[in-house]
Amino acid sequence: MQNRASIVLSIAVLVGGLAVVSTPALAQGRGGGGGRGGGAPRVAPALPPAGPIPRTADGKPNLEGVFSGMGSGLTHTVILEDHTSGFGIRGGKSLITDPANGVIPYQPWALVERNKRREDVNAYEDPVGHCEFYDIGRLHSFAQRFMYTGGNIAIAGQEQIVRIIDMNRKQHLPASIRLWNGDPIGRWEGDTLVIDTTNFNGRTRMALGGDFYSANAHIVERYTMVDSNTINWTMTVDDPTVFTRPWTFTTAAPMIRQVDGSNDWNRALRLLDPAWEHDCHEGNVVLRHMRNVYEQTWGGKPRPQTVPGSVP
């Protein structure tokens, strides 16, 4: 029974995973109007040649636009380290740049926990399958839209997620306020936007393959604009609860500006299309099948798991 359950779940997860990233494209047709809101697909020129860094009135790089670091396609939504193709994604090299061996420096207990999360019967635990949150690194598997508001920077990511980066505050929120994507505070270092995030709730996963950090994580992202079309991004995770040392990873390719005709345009479009609605939870029947297998495996209770020092 266990094997059959695993196979069924693998299929369910595959369908579910694809549903999460692509089913809305099927469900939400584009009608016959002429405008952006529900109008016909836009067909327009490809990316213009890169020029100097565009700047806002105060001389800082102007990040406005849609950028994607996905490179030639979905490669790291499941596993961040070296991986062969499978699960509907291409093979890929590790995104981890530090340590040099490309392996996430888990503490022994955490590696065991990560590997348990990776088992297909436990994929039901992934909050993305529940239409909840991607972690802030996982968002970089997809296109993101940068906007400005009241001196702050807003980054709209996959599905419903919009991060408002506070550019004025110096202190993080009180420790009792915990957020799915943490409390982001931004600052400029030259042409690099540095985002410092704490106050996580420890419930997100970095990939479907189970990589995680705890509520105690301190994450620093660096967005460096190098020309009008390109942003280099790195994310350093410091979490003494889970890892033996801080580690850093990046996107599969530099984040490239998305315009009509870009390879990632179909996904980027959702960040700009007023006719796009990020419904996911409504009618998410696949999750039910995943849960059936999960409950069968764990006797109707959640899998026992503990993250030391984590916020309950």
Residues that bind other proteins (CB under 8 A): 27-39, 64, 127, 130-133, 147-150, 154, 156, 160-162, 164, 166, 173, 177, 179-180, 201, 203, 272-279, 281-285, 287-288, 290-291
Give CA torsion, residues 181, 182, 187, 190, to 10 deg: -50
Q: In terms of CB distance, is 112 or 177 closer to other proteins?
A: 177
Q: In terms of CB distance, is 148 or 188 closer to other proteins?
A: 148
Q: How far is the CB of 280 from other proteins (least distance, A)?
A: 9
Q: Is the peptide bond before 274 cis (omega within 30 degrees of 0)?
A: no
How far CA 121 is from CA of 3, 35, 37, 166, in Å, comes to 10, 45, 40, 39
Residue 68's closest CA among 233, 278, 279? 233
* Helices marked H in 97-202: 108-118
Q: How far is the CB of 81 from other proteins (least distance, A)?
A: 28
Q: In terms of CB distance, is 183 or 264 closer to other proteins?
A: 183
Q: Which residues contact 28 (CB under 8 A, 6 or more apart)?
A: 275, 276, 277
Q: How far is the CB of 187 from other proteins (least distance, A)?
A: 17
* Cβ 242 vs Cβ 210: under 8 Å: no
Structure tokens at 76: 């790291």
Q: In terms of CB distance, is 64 or 119 closer to other proteins?
A: 64
Three-class secondary structure of residue 226 per DSSP = strand
Q: In terms of CB distance, is 4 or 301 closer to other proteins?
A: 301
Q: How far is the CB of 96 from other proteins (least distance, A)?
A: 28
DSSP 43-69: ----PPPP-SPPB-TTSSB---EEEE-
Q: How far is the CB of 80 from other proteins (least distance, A)?
A: 24
Q: How far is the CB of 63 from other proteins (least distance, A)?
A: 13
Q: In terms of CB distance, is 111 or 164 closer to other proteins?
A: 164
Residue 212 is which amino acid? F
β-strand partners of 195: 186, 221
Q: How far is the CB of 200 from other proteins (least distance, A)?
A: 11
Q: In terms of CB distance, is 16 or 209 closer to other proteins?
A: 16
Structure tokens at 37: 């809101």
The HSE-up count of residue 267 (CA atoms within 13 Å, CB side) is: 25
